[in-house]
Each structure stands twice: as structure tokens, then as C-alpha cells.
Amino acid sequence: NYYFWKKIIKENKEKENILVTNLVSTKEYTLHECTIGLMLSNILKKNPVGLIKSHDFMSEIFMRSFGIDKIYSIPEGNIYSNLKFFFKSISLMCKIKKTDDLLNLKYEEIDVGKIIYNHAIRFSGIGSIKFVTPKMFYFLSQTLLVLDHLKYIFKNNSFKEVIQAENQFIPANIVFEEAIINNCNVFARIGLSNKISVRFYKNIKNKYINRYRFSGELFNSIYKNNKIKILDKTKEIMKRRFLGNLAYQVDHGLEEGMDHKFKIQTDLIKDYTKNDLCKKYNWSPEKPIVIIFSIDLTDGIFTDRWRMYKDNLTWIQQTLKIIKNIDHINWLIKSHPNDVKLNVFTTTEKEVSEISKTAKNINLFPRNFGNNPLPKIISAAVTANGSVGFEYPSLGVPTITCGDSIYAGRGFNHEPSSEAEYINLLKNADTLPPLSDEEINKAKTFIYIYSVLTKVNTSLGEGLQKIENIKDIDFWKNLETRLENYELEKDTFYKNFKIQLEKSDRHTINYDLLKN
């Protein structure tokens, strides 16, 4: 690996450098971030410089194997620096009692309040926190320490480009915001395995635009010019997705190798009717059924431009309170797979089990029931901003969202802009008009862009769907084999990445698919 990439970057003698970050210490993340970094270095004729977490020796070895000789590490701090920044965090937060106020806390243009709240949610497994906790002071002190070190790194380098994948939590979110503040172009990778894309950021105003938010220009162009191709491709994608095929799930859905955590799902009931559901819950078949799809309660809280409720748990809690009194509709609530996968403390199941004791029109969707029959059974679907918002409209099911999403404004959802409007839509969820052919085709257009057009193949990631389950020695042997036959200029991702840079496209797309 080292000798292959050293040939690529040996001619890059320019003084300017590219910062390649590796802040999620897994083989897949490291492979992609290093590969994209070296590709960009080759295109721009610049030198790659690494950034890792302190004492992450495996990532350092990995990055050096890509010929990245200079590597910075994010410090853990010593007793003096830790005390310094801890006292500083106290001075910044001493008057803040409620997390509602914490969310407004800024420090040197960085939204530190949102960063530490998001971090606290993720790593406590608790979906919503009302009051500031002692640990949040520690998280803020760590944020200030990282920020101080980053200022030194950016001041002493001429970085114009930064490579990273995850842009949430500590330290990734701080790196992301500081890079944009320093007028760097940030290339944020999306996708998994060998099907990836890069999202291009260059303006601080866009920091809350989701990595998966595709441009309106791209969406309109694909919708107008590629309808026949879209209809054929998305039909197969949705068929396999609703049958539970893991290879066709969204990027953060069920993962291969996770089956053991879903024991009940190994014997799914794939064929059932509305009467079967009503009989199970002693519901009247005369009443309509609407299903609410919960989202990940500890992830993605501040990845979009705006939200109606403080966090994802507050959204599901408030929604349950609203529908409790809408008893002319029977409501099913479907938990998000990450409730089980991440073993979080707060779960949708706990919230629903409590309210369903008194509200007989609300029940959990059974885990051992498949999704396939649902579009023909339900009157509408509800989500905050999950994949349901493009899946179900593509099948003609009216869908209500709550807040910004990666597909907002594309013309195939009911998108309330206030809580009053949201409540009104829930009250009338059973009478929403069927989607028109135009709306259905727009939803399919989004699926095509999301699942096909921006999933660009790189042969270096071939066959690594279960990369984290591969032993290190097998991983390196696998990579060595692929490098023996690898030609950079022929790599599909590399070719389209160059086009993205030339056109300043927001995302890497596979232009080969757009040729007639």
C-alpha cells in the first residue's frame, strides 16, 4: 500500500497541503478518507497531511501506509491544560441551567452548545436532557481544548481542503466548523463500502445542510431528463427494500452482520392484512390505520437546517401526546432499528408502552411483521425526517414530515412549518389526498439520486460490505490483491470526482449513468 501511493504523491512538491482527517477509527472510514485524500492530492498536486485522535496508533499506521508522513493528533491534554479549559468552561456555562439555553451558546463562531448537547445525547443513550449536567462542563472543556489546538494547526498550515466523513460530535464537529471558518473546502464522504460520494462544503452558512441534501439543480435535471430510467431502477430498489434485503437499505439502516441483534425478525410474517393487524390489537377494521416511523433518538439532531422540536425524543413524545386524542384513527408506532442496534437507554418502545396503557388506539408495530404489506394497509405515514419520507411517497402513500430533511421542498410530502400545522395534519391524516403521478415520480427521482446516481463505485472498496468483521491480516491481503490490478485513472469514483471538482458540483455523481 505504501509503495503504491508513494508513486502517486512523489511529484507533489507544492508547499500547500491537504488535511486528511481520520476521526472515526474503523478500517472502512480510514480506507475511504485516505483514498479520497490521496486522489485529491494527485488532482491538485498538493501534499496530504493527517489528523487523528491522540494515541490512535492503528489509524497512524494506516495513514502512514498511504504515504502520509506528517500527522497531527488531537491532544487529550495534560493536567494544566485540562484545568485551564475546565475553568474556562465553568465561566462560560456557570449561569446556564437549562439545555434550552445551552443550545444558544457560541464561542468564537463555533456552536459549542449544540456540539456538547449532541455529544451528551449520543454517548449517554438518553434521547433528551432538560438540565445541564456536570459532564457537559467536561465536554465543553474538551471542545475548547480541541479548538485551541486546531487554531494552531490551521494557523501554521496553508490548508484549503479538508477531507472528513462524520461531521457530528466531539471532535469531528469542531474540526468541520473550524475548517469552514478558515475558508477551507470540506469534502465530506457519504455512502458505504465501495459505493460512495463526496459532499462539497465551502460556506459557513451551509454547515447545517445535511451531507445527503442534494442540490435542487441536480434534482430538477434528473426529474426532467431521466424519467424512464428512474422508474425502472427504483421499482426494483423499493421492492427489495420492503422485503428486508439489507443490501438495499439506506446507509444508516440495518447493517449486514447485525442479524443476531434482531432475533425475532429471523421469522418474519411477510404476508398479512389490515384485518390481521386489527385482530391483534382488538381494533375496529372500520377505522383507518396510520403508522408513525420513529427515527434514531440519539443521532442526527443538528444535521439539518431547522427542527420543530428540540431533539428526536421530544418529537416522538409530543407526537404521542397529540395522537392520544385523535381516536378516530388507529396508530401504529414503528421503532427505529438503532434502538436495538445501539442498545440505547431511551427507546421508542418504552415511550409507546407507557402511553398505550390508556390510549387503546396506539400500539407498537410488531417486530415480527414485515413492511411489505404496509403501503396497501395504511392511510398515511408520519416521520420526523427519516427515509420513510421518500420511500412511502414513491409507493403513493401520503406522508407527513416534521422539520427539515434531505428531501424537503421536493414536492412529494406534507411539510408543516409550525406545530399548529403539524397537529392539524395529524388530525386529518386519514383524509389526505392520494399522491399524483407527478408527486410519485418526484419521490422516485430522489430515490434514484440517493441510491444510484450518488453511489459511485471505487474498486478499492470492492467486497468490503462486512469490512469491520474482517481480520486485520485478511483486510491487508485483500487490499494488496486489489492494488495489484488497480489503475487510478480507470477508477470510476476517481474519474467522476475529477468532474465534480471541474464543475464545482455539490456531490460526486456517476456521469456515466447520464449518458444515453
Q: pLDDT tens digit string along 484-512?
A: 889 999 999 999 999 999 999 999 999 99
How far is 456 from 192, CA to CA, in rounded Å? 10
Q: Which cell numbers hold the place of 226?
A: 431521466
DSSP one-letter code for 76: -
Q: Give the pLDDT confidence score for residue 183 in this predicted structure.
A: 93
Indicate whether this model's pTM tops 0.75.
yes
- All residue ranges of the chain with pLDDT < 50 are 252-264
- Residue 216 is inside which H or E element, if any? helix 216-225
Q: How far apart are the first and last CA of the chain?
A: 37
Q: Give the pLDDT confidence score for residue 178 in this predicted structure.
A: 96
Q: Give the pLDDT confidence score for residue 236 in this predicted structure.
A: 84
Q: Give the pLDDT confidence score for residue 254 in this predicted structure.
A: 42
| Amino acid at position 141, single letter | S
Q: Give the pLDDT confidence score for residue 478 in this predicted structure.
A: 84
CA-CA distances (angstroms) from residue 7 to 11, 85, 196, 225? 8, 43, 24, 41
Please name which of 66, 217, 100, 88 lies closest in space to residue 148, comparing C-alpha atoms.
88
Q: Give the pLDDT confidence score for residue 262 in this predicted structure.
A: 42
Q: How many residues in the chain?
A: 516
Judge whether 65 and 2 are in contact, CB under 8 Å: yes
